[in-house]
Amino acid sequence: MTTEAFIDAVGWQHPRDAWYMAGWDKDVPPGEITAITMLGQPLALARDEAGTVFALEDRCPHRAAPLSLGRCEGGGLRCLYHGIRFASDGRAVEVPGQDVIPPALRARAYPVVERHAAIWVWMGDPALADAGQIPEFIGYRHPDWAMTPGRLDYEAPARLIHDNLLDLSHIAYVHAATFAGGSEESADGWLAAKISNITLPNGVAVERAMAGMPPNPAGGRHVDEADVWSRYDFTVPGVFILRTETYPHGTMDRASQGRCEGLSQFTTFTCQAVTPLTADTTCYFFAFGPWAAEAEKQDFFADLGLRAFHEDKRMIEAQWRTMQATGTRIMPLAMDQAVLKYEAVNKRLLAARKAAMQEKETA
């Protein structure tokens, strides 16, 4: 029986009954097969003749050859070991040299939805796949933003990337030369921020207000002192969205140190998804950029974001190598409130799913 969770190398339980990002829409071009491993399960993604994405287990049930080494044909996939052709729902529809096709000859199919310029695969019980649970991811094609998409493959468990995104206090140090603006005053501002942690039904949100931040002219941002407000939502199974607004200095004093809606001089947005590939490898998808009103700065922010995301990758992969050598024990601190809240939400959702599975088995 498939368990309700996939456990990574540091013991984090990733729920199977959830939508995981498998790629951007452009990552699965017509007529090609895209192979990806998600939660330890090899998948073959392709498009049918109408352009709809489908996902099959990357395994021909005949002799276990990878379907990703086959070809797109007739709206499905043909295995190029012995020529068996499968429909997009996994049914075998042609067996060369054999008229009768055994009904049991089928590849496992996974529910897939293409939304927000991203491809989402449901890795658990297909009967529970609800497209309404796909987060409001925005995506890089949204007309309000000038975002550039990308991905990085990590040699580290997904849990470590979760922790990184849940605690943005690391920006003052890991991103001193990029997001933090390259000054000690900016780093101090990040550490002195007023922070609000909010528990969501399926994750956490964190609002951060930083008054009197020093000049950060990169990419046309504030050249004088400014107030900066941001909010991120991090939801199960690992989806991160962050909006950052910059106001004239003193604006937040008039708004009780919170968001000053409609007064932003400059706004950026990023949407990101963390997908466990195996127990100790992860795919990190991201899109980042300014609002569409300043689309001419898109390339600058694409470069800035990529440099910053590589800073994270360098640190997290080094962290994982240290853990492999010395053990995975850690010591939570006050800055880890969002991490702890997210852990509690994930445990609650997993417990509810386990109880539902047990009730179904005993019914």
Query: What's domain 5-133's superfamily in CATH?
Result: Rieske [2Fe-2S] iron-sulphur domain (2.102.10.10)
| Cβ proximity of 21 and 5 under 8 Å | no
* Cβ contacts of 348 within 8 Å, gap of 6 or more: none
| Residue 1 pLDDT | 40
DSSP string, 110-135: E-EEEETTEEEEE-S-GGG--GGGS-
DSSP string, 17-41: SSEEEEEEGGGS-TT--EEEEETTE
DSSP class of residue 258? S
The token duo for 301 is 């922010």
* Cβ contacts of 71 within 8 Å, gap of 6 or more: 33, 77, 78, 80
Please state the domain extents for the chain.
Answer: 5-133, 148-348
* Cβ contacts of 259 within 8 Å, gap of 6 or more: 207, 209, 229, 231, 245
pLDDT tens-place values along the chain, 363 residues long: 457 899 999 999 999 999 999 999 999 999 999 999 999 999 999 999 999 999 999 999 999 999 999 999 999 999 999 999 999 999 999 999 999 999 999 999 999 999 999 999 999 999 999 999 998 899 999 999 999 999 999 999 999 999 999 999 898 889 988 887 766 666 677 777 889 999 999 999 999 998 888 876 555 565 578 889 999 999 999 999 999 998 888 888 765 667 888 888 889 999 999 999 999 999 999 999 999 999 999 999 999 999 999 999 999 999 999 999 999 999 999 889 999 999 999 999 999 988 888 877 787
The token duo for 4 is 């309700």
According to CATH, the topology of domain 148-348 is Naphthalene 1,2-dioxygenase Alpha Subunit; Chain A, domain 1 (3.90.380)
| Residue 97 pLDDT | 95
| Model confidence, pTM | 0.94
Which pairing describes strands 203-213 and 194-200: parallel, antiparallel, or unpaired?
Answer: antiparallel
Q: Is 168 helix (H, G, I), strand (E, B) or coil?
A: helix
| Residue 82 pLDDT | 98
- In this structure, the number of other CB atoms found within 10 A of the CB of residue 363 comes to 5
